Amino acid sequence: MRKKVTVVGGGFVGSTTAQRILDSGIADVVLTDILDGVPAGKALDMLESGPILGSDSHAAGISTGSGDYRETANSDIVVITAGFPRKPGMSRDDLLKANYDVVKAVVENVVKFSPNAILILVTNPLDAMAQAAYKISGFSKNRVIGMAGVLDSARMSTFVAAELGVSVENVHSFVLGGHGDDMVPLARYSTVAGIPLPELLPKETIEAIVTRTRKGGAEIVNLLKTGSAYYAPSAAVVEMVKAILHDKKKILPCAAYLEGEYGVRGLFVGVPVKLGARGIEQIIEIKLTAEEQAALDKSSASVRELVSVLGL
């Protein structure tokens, strides 16, 4: 019997995530959205691509406007992408509280219908939403994960590969911290075919790549004018889904609940973790320089500020 993944939110990130999962054939997919007909239409369209792509995975789409989540029952993984984008005149706190309400309603239904699921949070502000989902669900900390580091590391790897003119397969970048302007790209732990990045690029070039990585999401938003990134975020989610469903024990940077690791306690922050069938199976601690630790502390403080607004 195939595994089941529910993707909550039928917008660009959610629908592209569902499509990538269906195309890969790793699981059946349920796509949900509060809009009537939209998730069902998108799911049917995806399903009809199966004969062409050779995927026997099933797709279903349901409207949850009435709060009916029954078709999501017994999901192995629930990916939460639903939420509001920031609009003109909306403060960060307004966005935070609006998306908290969305995540709260979703998680309460997930607990009811899929009490053994693993949650992957994509809704922004990501680290704070992961914290909210953890508190609301009552799930063990290994079953609530934020998608951020995989995306941010992929962006950094893209820029490194372009700068050096090498295959992206040779590049392994490493980004810690919260998913925001204070994220911590670690050049010292980033490699190209095993060679540390500082041995291949001058400091000024690395600093430019770090800055572009931190502003990677905003760069795309500015180019699109309306909307935000969804191809790379969905690919990042699917890498995490595969690691869990295939029990790969893969080390990936994800937002995890820390209880003293890296000097951070009681907070979701991006760190390297081992992903397997139980979700986060280990938090990998690496040695940081004083400067790197200070940057991570600053990033963590930004996340804690958001969490404190929600009273979490």
Q: Reduced to 3 states, what is the DSSP secondary structure of residue 25? A: coil
Instruction: Quote the tokens at residue 236.
Output: 């990042």
Residue 57: Cβ within 10 Å count: 21
The dihedral built from the CA positions of residue 170, 175, 179 and 180, taken in this order, carries a sign that is negative
Burial class (CB in 10 A: 0-12, 13-18, 19+), 66: exposed
| Contact by Cβ (8 Å): 38, 10 | yes
Neighbouring C-beta atoms of residue 187, cutoff 10 Å: 20
Between strands 171-172 and 144-146, the pairing is: unpaired
* Residue 85: CA count within 13 A, CB half-sphere: 14
Paired residues of 192 in beta bridges: 171, 195
Active site residue 179: yes
Tell me the C-alpha distance between 216 and 220, whole Å: 7
Cα–Cα distance, 78 to 181 (Å, whole number) = 27
Q: What is the 3-state secondary structure (H, E, C) of 170-194?
A: HEECCEECCCCCCCEECHHHCEECC
Active site positions, annotated: 179
